[in-house]
Amino acid sequence: MDNKGQLPIEFLLVVGLSVMVLIPLINGLSDESELNQAMSAARTGALQGAISDGLAIYPQETFRDYTSEHQRLLHPSGVKIVEINYLNQGFHQGYQKTKIQLKIHASAPSVTDKTDRNCLGDRINFNARKKITESFKTENLTNALYNPAFSGKYVFTTADVTWE
């Protein structure tokens, strides 16, 4: 039997220290969860963009533009997403959020023209940003090209697609 009350004080100290350690840990994990959700959405969007590029399925206005300027893109081509990574560019004062730049690496051996690849890359980047905004329900915070894309704590931009 504990007559001096030592056991409850030690218990309260252990519980108190545990709470002090867990709160920062939970905050860090929630930040990582949001970034993981955004990267997953970007991957899904980039894959959708690659599929529409690969199958030559475009919106009507884009199809008209490609008919006159990029004939090669009107035929199916094997577009593959090789890798997606990001660069944390630090806190952005204008947006009051951490700025993340996505870098997508793709491959399309049958498309060798640089301007055609730029068109394909623009569609891939567009779909990646669009999926991020849809994932966080922030479509109303951005422009028609979803540039930049927003989440609760981050603002996302995309660099030009790197072709391999």
Cα 85 to Cα 94: distance, rounded to the nearest angstrom: 24
pLDDT for res 73: 87
Predicted pLDDT of residue 122: 93
Partner residues linked to 97 by β-bridges? 92
Dist. CA 124–CA 102, nearest whole Å:
12
Position 86 confidence tier, pLDDT thresholds 50, 70, 90: very high
Give per-residue pLDDT as tens, 96-123.
Answer: 999 999 999 999 998 899 999 999 999 9
Q: What is the arithmetic mean of pLDDT over 45-52?
A: 93
The whole-number pLDDT of residue 30 equals 65
**Structure-block tokens of residue 2:** 């504990």
Calculate ∠ Cα 124-132-137, nearest 5°.
Answer: 140
pLDDT value of residue 92: 94
Mean pLDDT of the chain: 88
Domain map (residue ranges) of the chain: 6-163
pTM over cut 0.95: no
Structure confidence at residue 28 (pLDDT) = 67
Arithmetic mean of pLDDT, 27-38: 80
Rounded Cα gap, residues 124 and 46, in angstroms: 5
**Confidence at 17, pLDDT banded by 50, 70, 90:** confident
Span 144-164, pLDDT tens digits: 889 999 999 999 999 999 998
